[in-house]
Amino acid sequence: MEEVQVDAFDGELAQESQIRLSDVELTLKLEERHPKLASLDSIIQEYAFHGKMIFQQWGVTEAMIIGIGTLSIILGAWDLGIGEIATGGDYNRWGLYGEDAGFLHVNDFSLMLALLAIIAWFGFFSLLWTRFPLMRENLVWLSIATLAVQLGFVISHSSASDFPFDTSTGDWAGFGIGNLVLIFLAIIVVHRAVIETRDIHVEERHTHPDPRVVQKAWRDHSLKAWSLNLATWMVFLNISSWAGAHAVSPRPPIENDMTLYVVIYALFGILSMALLLHVLWYPQFMLGAAGDRIQSVRAREVAGEFVPKRATKSQGSCPICNADSVAVRNQDGVIEVPCSNCDGNGAPGAACSECEAIIPARISCRECGSSTTVMSHFSRSDAW
């Protein structure tokens, strides 16, 4: 018996709930109020599916990741009444070495909290590293992007303590460079790697002669909600990084209460960590057991791996005389036939896109006149 290999997206769902994205039903559909809101229904359906899967899949490890990440932010942002952060410290003392090094003049308890925060951050990234092995390379890129944004805001605040107010053009350099690095690594590298790996996965492991099955597979592996969460993570990261730099940017003596900015930094920092967990989890969940490395097509080509070509639009042909027919199969596997009553088209057995007439399931060849099913124009059987 031939062994059937399934991916984590298929295998885990089959074992636990038998639910797929296309199986999720919405109680309230916005499309019923206006047809143009159908795209919103699609996004809401994905978020509902993600919520169900998070409820089923996330456990102690994910709770520890969020808990340790929250602890690391709190330990780094709140000095428990010691006053090191609240007063701004002595900005004339800085560095790690020498008698006047700022590191030697930090309050002992503040130093202990800083070391605990570093340990917590190490634990946070270590858990992400071990929990999502397929996303390790992408975790590195996202970590570098996070550091670039934070350093960018620190650089901008170093020359303009009230950034983005009362600034000159040069004060925006840190912010601009940091976000360019973020956009390149998050969108061009990570997002592209996940999307292209998904495409290869569906084309290799979910091929089927029935275009409806292929179309359902593409829907089940949709990444619209994941992409929106990646974009939201980028926004929250910017807000948290700005608030953190803004809270410590005033020159002593600090007259204004900066507590609000510390709260904003901690709140959006915790939210961005939860979103980062989701960004790493969903591709791992979708592609995990299939053993697909999450890389872009270009990276696979450089590594010398075989990359299957994306399905293209194909013309049907008569199964009797092999002449080209009017039927066409699109890239997503959907077959379309021109309507005989107007200039519209549609799938066999479905309504025309223009006049609502039913598209026939059989078509006649213009060369030999034989009437055959539309599906036979795309099937190729071997001769005995």
Identify the weakest region by mean pLDDT among 6-10, 84-88, 199-203, 275-279.
Answer: 6-10
What single-letter amino acid sits at 330? Answer: N
Pairing mode, strands 324-329 and 335-338 = antiparallel
Residues shown for the chain: 384
More confident residue, 342 or 83: 342
pLDDT for residue 99 is more than 50: yes
pLDDT reported for residue 328: 81
Buried b (16+ CB within 10 A) or exposed e, 232-252: ebbebbbbbbbbbbbbbbbee
pLDDT reported for residue 84: 60
Based on the number of CB atoms within 10 Å of its own CB, is 217 exposed (0-12), middle (13-18) or buried (19 or more)?
buried
Query: How far, in Å, are 92, 251, 291, 313 from residue 129 at the CA level?
Result: 38, 38, 17, 40
Q: What are phi and psi of 339, to 5 degrees?
A: -75, 140
pLDDT reported for residue 13: 42
The residue-averaged pLDDT of 131-157 equals 93
pLDDT digits (tens, 9 = 90+) for 279-296: 999 998 887 655 567 776
The residue-averaged pLDDT of 18-27 equals 77
Helix (H, G, I), strand (E, B) or coil at 308: coil
Average pLDDT, the chain: 80
Nearest to 205 by CA among 2, 3, 1, 4: 4
pLDDT reported for residue 305: 63
Measured over all CA atoms, what is the biggest interatomic distance in the chain, rounded to whole angstroms? 97
Confidence of residue 265 (pLDDT cuts 50, 70, 90): very high
